[in-house]
């Protein structure tokens, strides 16, 4: 269902991304675990992991954009942490969903209160920490080193390397 703004809904966007990846021969629900340098569930600015569809969607977005950080935050959250989103960076969306009940007048018996189940779903814009300058260092993963320096090898590994022909 297209939103009133003319933009596709989050559901349409996610569905289209999955179909595109499948048509490219990629199983998107498997790939992020293996290729994402960040390794782990996407995190909010406060360190709390995203849940549900947000986990899958932000993994997919991070993999497609090459982001290494696990952290995602709104523009205001970045500012409150001393960061600044770089000019021209495109946000992704995260989804807020909540189910709750509210006491309302009964239709069948006026004057009597009954619990009515309600749901709310909204999307909001988030940026990956890799798109934001001047955040505290904890938001950026350390650079990966494929081969540890020789002085960091354990004794067993050092003996193995020493026996390799030059």
Question: Where do the H-state alpha helices sit in the chain?
Answer: 10-23, 31-35, 53-65, 75-80, 155-162
pLDDT of residue 149: 59
Q: Which residues pair with 101 in a beta bridge?
A: 117
Domain boundaries, the chain: 10-162
Q: What is the pTM of this model?
A: 0.72
pLDDT, mean over the chain: 85
Running DSSP on this structure, what letter comes out for residue 164? Answer: S
Structure tokens at 18: 């999955």
Look at 1-15, 75-89, 127-141, 147-161 and tell me which has the smallest mean pLDDT: 147-161
What is the arithmetic mean of pLDDT over 135-139? 95
Q: Assign 56 to helix, strand or coil.
A: helix
Rounded CA gap, 72 and 44, in Å? 5
């Amino acid at each position: 269902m297209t939103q009133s703004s003319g933009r596709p809904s989050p559901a349409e966007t996610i569905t289209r991304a999955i179909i595109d990846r499948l048509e490219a021969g990629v199983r998107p629900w498997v790939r992020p675990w293996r290729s994402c340098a960040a390794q782990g569930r996407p995190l909010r600015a406060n360190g709390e992991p995203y849940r549900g569809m947000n986990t899958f969607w932000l993994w997919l977005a991070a993999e497609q954009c090459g982001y290494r950080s696990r952290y995602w935050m709104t523009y205001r959250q970045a500012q409150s942490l001393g960061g600044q989103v770089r000019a021209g960076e495109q946000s992704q969306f995260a989804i807020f969903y909540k189910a709750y009940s509210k006491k309302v007048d009964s239709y069948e018996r006026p004057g009597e209160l009954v619990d009515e189940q309600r749901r709310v779903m909204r999307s909001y814009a988030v940026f990956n920490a890799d798109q934001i300058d001047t955040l505290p260092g904890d938001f950026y993963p350390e650079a990966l080193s494929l081969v540890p320096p020789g002085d960091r090898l354990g004794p067993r590994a050092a003996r193995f390397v020493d026996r390799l022909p030059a």
